[in-house]
Structure 1
């Protein structure tokens, strides 16, 4: 009887210890990741952690890494009817955690006044991207058919991610959503028929990042001038397209609002943001590995100057990583 009791006590003790490790690992991971460039052009990476984890690194060329990424959200201004302020803020909270875990510290939410201030400083436009999930810009940067502040900022080399529909077709005031005569692009280029035909083909860069985002309800045509497909697509529309403006700026168009992007797709989007993925980005190399118990230190062969190395560890639920631009 005494031996049996000892076995039970020992079993409970082991179970509690294992549960404790699991809780520490999942919710408060005791790990870190770092990248450092060596004199010979090689890169050393270190992954600190208690338990085994999978990892992957990619070498990319033709990227545009941003010094600052701003996410527009202002509860004092209404959003389009097909989305809610809760969805807008929920996406920010998710992205904010993911960007932080990837070592990107310059991801920030801005309200209508702060957005206007960002766009007023055109000297930083080329190194800045703005994410607009609300479906409408505030009247601090767009008044009726006039969106000169946005136009000037884009002309200076700014970039913008727009979620669903034609940018600037509608704008937001304290009293409601207003319609303008036109948006940045021709209305005829956008999917408004809500057909059952889905986006099933995957662009090369979406495949590399596991970006399975397929919403095309408000997507732009794959035949739009100066456009490149980044997401999934069919023979008409793409779930994420890059449009290079003749003025010099770049607009990235999602085919749906903030509620249409899943947790896993948001994780892949965060990877693409920190890497500065564009329509020209190419993954030159992708390597998978497995870390055992304890820390891992390894060196990657010399990387060409101008290329980017992205190291990602874990699953979408526990992932973290680091980026270094050579």
Structure 2
């Protein structure tokens, strides 16, 4: 009888161990993903690998000569909580924990093999905007409603405006673009149009939910998700602008406008998974205001590698963006090629 009891106890312990191991394998990162690409005269050949069974997407993008972003800085506003209530009294900012958002954006970009990401407060921001001869290929992510006056003060000769004119890219979320700044006297703002937006304008009092999907290839190809329309941008009167994602009335959940040699992208909505994922897709895929989706392939890769090819376009700046997981992207990789 004693032996039988001991045997049952041993079996119970083994079953518990199997369950624990199963949970560890389920919730830990055990899958492996990879991709490669080779540019030829008329095609780009690519492979996608997965140790599991996953959807993959391959998106061929033509940037028509405009340089994509390959480095970003995330501004973490150290005065955010101090002035948020005051800003909310005159505008429509969506509350965003600066450090948490910065960490999440970094993580989501890293998952797409975009590792050239840094972050910091006012000192780091000033250094980033003034630290190189050319801002071409550099991006700035702003999740605050205000910038420090050392880089932006609603005037045309401030550092941020000069940086954009010279080729920098600004990604703005969760608030009105360029309405506020903070100086030694506190929060300051303009009651007129933002000098950053020109003829574009934002949805600060209209519908908060999208009614339709923008059908120009980007939304489907990049699995864009966010459809919350607060602070969405209308770019109907801006030459050279771009729209993607979802819309209500004339507003787009993701919109971009040229600014000198640079560009500004505005993403609408609250800080959540959908917005975070959309931003990571936008940046990692190399989208610019001049971008066009040339081709989009999707399929399934199951415990191995699949190979395929896409016809290339006659452009000097084409990009192939390959990602795994569809709506819930697990891995991505971008390949730059010179098409003949």
TM range (shorter): 0.7 to 0.9
Gaps of 5+ in 2: none
Higher helix proportion, which one? 1
Task: Work out the number of aligned pairs and report it.
Answer: 318
Alignment map for 1:21-36 (pairs within 5 Å): 21=22, 23-36=24-37
Contact kept in structure 1, 2:70 and 2:138, CA below 8 Å:
yes
Shift of 1:91: 2.1
Which residue number corresponds to residue 255 of structure 1?
268
**Cα 1:178–1:107, aligned 2, differ >3 Å: closer, same or farther?**
same
User: What does 1:141-180 correspond to in 2, within 5 Å?
Assistant: 141-143=151-153, 145=155, 148-173=158-183, 176-180=186-190
Q: Secondary structure at the match of 2:133?
A: helix
- Whether 2:250 is the aligned partner of 1:239: answer no
Change beyond 3 A, Cα 1:292–1:8: farther
Q: Pairwise mapping of residues 217-236 of structure 1 onto structure 2 (< 5 A)? A: 217-226=230-239, 227-236=241-250
Shift of 1:25: 4.8
User: Structure 1 residues 60, 144: closer, same or farther in 2, change over 3 A?
Assistant: closer
- In 1, the alpha carbon distance for the partners of 2:50 and 2:256 equals 37
**TM-score in terms of structure 2 length:** 0.78
Query: What corresponds to 2:53 in structure 1?
Result: 52
Q: Secondary structure at the match of 1:103?
A: coil
The answer as to whether partners of 1:164 and 1:219 remain within 8 angstroms in 2 is no
Q: Structure 1 residues 53 and 220, CA, compared in 2 at 3 Å: closer, same or farther?
A: closer
Map Cα deviations across residues 204-246 of structure 1 (whole Å, 9 max, x no partner).
Answer: 212322223223332333434233322322223222221112x
Q: Structure 2: how far apart are the matches of 1:6 and 1:288? A: 52
- Superposed, 1:312-323 pairs within 5 Å as 312-314=323-325, 319-323=330-334
Match of 2:130 in 1: 120
SS of corresponding position for 2:161: helix
> 3-state DSSP class of the match of 2:251?
coil
CA shift in 2, pair 1:325/1:303, >3 Å: farther
Larger strand fraction of residues: 2
Given that 1:126 and 1:158 are in contact with CA atoms closer than 8 Å, whether structure 2 keeps it comes out as: yes
Mapped to 1, the partners of 2:110 and 2:220 lie a distance apart of 24
2-structure distance, mates of 1:291, 1:154: 41
Alignment counterpart, residue 129 of structure 1, candidates 135, 139, 152: 139
In structure 2, which of residues 222, 230, 241 is the aligned counterpart of residue 209 of structure 1? 222
Residues 103 and 321, structure 1, Cα contact 8 Å, conserved in 2? yes
Q: 1-side partners of 2:184 and 2:22: how far apart?
A: 50
Q: Any idea what the Cα deviations from partners look like across 1:136-188, whole Å, max 9, x if unmatched?
A: 11122024646521121111011101124443321023663212464224699
Partner SS for 1:253: strand
CA RMSD of aligned residues (A): 3.4
SS in 1 for 2:224: coil
Distance in structure 2 (CA, Å) of the matches to 1:30 and 1:119: 38
User: Normalised by the size of structure 1, how large is the TM-score?
Assistant: 0.81
Q: 1:42-72, CA deviations, whole angstroms, 9 ceiling, x for partnerless residues?
A: 43424242x3333222222227431211111
Match of 2:201 in 1: 189
Q: Relative to structure 1, is the Cα distance of residues 318 and 302 closer, same or farther in structure 2, using a 3 angstrom cutoff?
A: closer
Q: Whole-Å Cα distance in 2 between the matches of residues 285 and 22 of structure 1?
A: 39
| Structure 1 runs not aligned, ≥5 long | none
* Cα distance in 1 between the residues matched to 2:94 and 2:31: 36
Sort the Cα spacing of 1:147 and 1:84 in 2 relative to 1 into closer, same or farther, 3 A. Answer: farther
